[in-house]
Structure 1
Amino acid sequence: MIKARHHILQTTPEQCDLLKQVQQEAAGCWNAIVAEAKAHYDAGGGWISKNDLQKRLKGRFDLHSQTVQGLVDRFCGNRRTAAENRRMGLDKNYPWREKRFVTVPFKQMAIRCSASGTVQLTLKAGIRFDTGFPFSDGIHTCEIMWRHGRYVLSCTAEYQPAEPAEQGLRAGIDIGEIHPVAVCAENGAGLVVSGRQIRSAKQQRNKSLGTFAKRLSRCKKGSRRWKKLRRAKARLRAKTDRQVRDLLHHATRKAIDWCREQGVSELVIGNPAGVEKNTRKAKRLNRKARQKVSQMETGRIKQYLSYKAEEAGIQTCLVVERGTSRDCPVCGSQNRARGRLFVCAACGFSAHRDGKAGFMMLWKKHPQIPLPQLRIEHRQAYPKYRKRLSPACVDGPDVAPSSLAIPGPLLGEHIAA
């Protein structure tokens, strides 16, 4: 299993200037690759091969030879992907744009272990850069990127996943907008991870983007004010994306850790793909609800759950989630759920809406499992605020206040006070 890890580089001004020069030199190499490939194709030679490109670029740039090979590999990969997309009818272009800066790749021959046990990269002949990132034997490639005003090291390495359990509990996961992850096992135990912080960040971003759009409409395109607002808008988008990505990582990690504690060996994940389509035409949702559904991070959540489960030795599969929120698991009648509590009008069955949907996902693949008594636990993706009761809470930082066990006398004294 190959994973990428990012490490923020602590660089001095001199090191920043050196890395900037290397990025500019790599950009010149990339532009030469694009020019050589285009000239070879226009001359009637078709696609130039990887070996011919490397021969034409040999010794022309002040870079490590493995960096030049990495840039050639990147170009060939982009060219192959563009060709596959064009064959599928997508309007995609081959690499053509000239660049001033590019991400600098490093292959295994340019990666060393320093005397202090950190990753050391060979930028060019006689010049090495100590990243401060711990070295491991399984590192495949490294890249130095410029992200959000700072240099970041990206390392891909081989990680050995845990051995899959032969026998264990089976569980289902429902992906939602308010609660990004709701998992329920076949024994009735469940976990719902709140995503209201994610919703809050997106709402703040949407309001700010509306303000930016209003101000930009009053500016002349290309003016200094227009450029300043555009830069501020890009910073806002980048900040919100980082916040949402971090919260989704926390939410999926809590779900997978809970599954590991419960001894889950198989996860059935509901696939909500297409839930945002035709909502206006079919008049299924109002304007605000359509915005929330269209901004759901369903693909990212599925990706995070899949690789975290594989790392923990848990098998995963996808099922269609249609009907899991409306159908009653007892009588099968359909009910329009209001709020977070599902109540069946026909038989009176009641349970947490998302926890019940997680169990219904499991039923999609294993319909023979009997319906247990659902016991749903709530946690926050990242506990930011937490109420304090008397005495101080000792249950842990991510336990919801509603689930705290308070003795009767203490509870009465607290209410009387």
Structure 2
Amino acid sequence: MGYQGLCRELAASGPGTFDDLDSTGARSVLRRFSDAWFAAAKRRNAGDGSARFPRRRRRLVPVRWYHGTFRIDGRRVRIPAGKGRPSLWVRLARQLPYPVEQVRSITLLSEGGHLFLDVTAEVPIATYPPGEEPDPARVAGVDLGIIHPFAVAGPDGEGLLVSGRAIRAEHRMHLADTKARRRAVARRAPGRV
């Protein structure tokens, strides 16, 4: 069943099917599930035996709301909930870098035990006065990497390298510290009787 069929099932099942989610949020979950299912089916048909279909139940799935379904008030975002449920107010850690009228969608997601609000905005295309446009003959290559988040190389041998070694070292230290704390707690845990 495709996305449209899933939306028809959602409409027929009535309110409360997705608990506190409104219909826009529920359709967002259905869209992600449908896209993941068809991508896995396509990979399997191409012979990729490692492709897995999405599990039916996941605790935390990214949910998207489009322009007109949410409200931004300073550093607070009001997200609608299901019928008869109070709206969810999310407090932002910092001010949005875009004017409110440019925001087109928001996505609420959870990564590493933290909630994030991904904001998509429509940014106007840059225009330049005559004679001040960028030179189309100048080219720069950008390489996104693992050790170094990105490197940029210009035509005259100029370059920019952002090192990610400090980020990786901090992550490894945090991981080692977490493992050590878990081992210490496990030793003190009561055994089975």
TM-score range, shorter chain: 0.5 to 0.7
Following the alignment from structure 1 to structure 2, what is the Cα–Cα distance between the partners of residues 79 and 157? 28
- 1:225: how far off? 2.4
What is aligned with 1:120?
78
What is aligned with 1:147?
111
Number of residue pairs the alignment of both structures matches: 172
What secondary structure is seen at the aligned counterpart in 2 of 1:106? strand
Unaligned runs of at least 5 residues, structure 2: 128-132
What is aligned with 1:49?
5
CA contact (8 A) 2:7 2:30 kept: no
The within-5 A match list for 1:311-390 is: none
Following the alignment from structure 1 to structure 2, what is the Cα–Cα distance between the partners of residues 63 and 110? 12
Deviations 1:176-229 (A, max 9, x none): 7876655443334444444442464476579x39x959x98xxxxxxx829x9x
State yes or no: 1:63 paired with 2:24.
Answer: no
What is aligned with 1:86?
44
Which of 129, 138, 141 is matched with 1:169 structurally?
138
State yes or no: 1:225 paired with 2:186.
Answer: yes
What is aligned with 1:76?
34
Following the alignment from structure 2 to structure 1, what is the Cα–Cα distance between the partners of residues 116 and 148? 31
Q: Which amino acid aligns with 1:170?
A: V
Q: Which amino acid aligns with 1:57?
A: S
Following the alignment from structure 2 to structure 1, what is the Cα–Cα distance between the partners of residues 21 and 149? 45
State yes or no: 1:137 paired with 2:101.
Answer: yes
What secondary structure is seen at the aligned counterpart in 2 of 1:170? coil
More helix by share: 1
What is aligned with 2:130?
none
Deviations 1:10-29 (A, max 9, x none): xxxxxxxxxxxxxxxxxxxx
Normalised TM-score (structure 2): 0.61
What secondary structure is seen at the aligned counterpart in 1 of 2:28? helix
Q: Which has the higher contact order (CA 8 A, sep 6+)?
A: 1
Q: Which amino acid aligns with 1:152?
A: F
- 1:60: how far off? 3.7
- 1:138: how far off? 3.4
Deviations 1:218-265 (A, max 9, x none): xxxxxx829x9xxxxxxxxxxxxxxxxxxxxxxxxxxxxxxxxxxxxx
Q: Which has the larger radius of gyration?
A: 1
CA contact (8 A) 2:139 2:155 kept: yes
The within-5 A match list for 1:205-224 is: 208=176
Following the alignment from structure 1 to structure 2, what is the Cα–Cα distance between the partners of residues 101 and 174? 32
The within-5 A match list for 1:280-291 is: none
Q: Pick closer, same or farther for the CA change 1:175–1:66 going to 2, 3 Å.
A: closer
- Between 167-176 and 90-99, report the one with greater CA deviation: 167-176
State yes or no: 1:99 paired with 2:68.
Answer: no
Q: Pick closer, same or farther for the CA change 1:79–1:193 going to 2, 3 Å.
A: closer
Following the alignment from structure 1 to structure 2, what is the Cα–Cα distance between the partners of residues 172 and 139? 30
Q: Pick closer, same or farther for the CA change 1:70–1:58 going to 2, 3 Å.
A: farther
CA contact (8 A) 2:66 2:106 kept: yes
Q: Pick closer, same or farther for the CA change 1:198–1:64 going to 2, 3 Å.
A: closer
Following the alignment from structure 1 to structure 2, what is the Cα–Cα distance between the partners of residues 154 and 142? 6
- 1:128: how far off? 2.3
Deviations 1:298-356 (A, max 9, x none): xxxxxxxxxxxxxxxxxxxxxxxxxxxxxxxxxxxxxxxxxxxxxxxxxxxxxxxxxxx
What secondary structure is seen at the aligned counterpart in 1 of 2:87? strand
Q: Which amino acid aligns with 1:52?
A: R
Unaligned runs of at least 5 residues, structure 1: 1-36, 38-45, 217-223, 229-417
Q: Pick closer, same or farther for the CA change 1:84–1:162 going to 2, 3 Å.
A: farther
CA contact (8 A) 1:67 1:107 kept: no
CA contact (8 A) 1:120 1:128 kept: yes
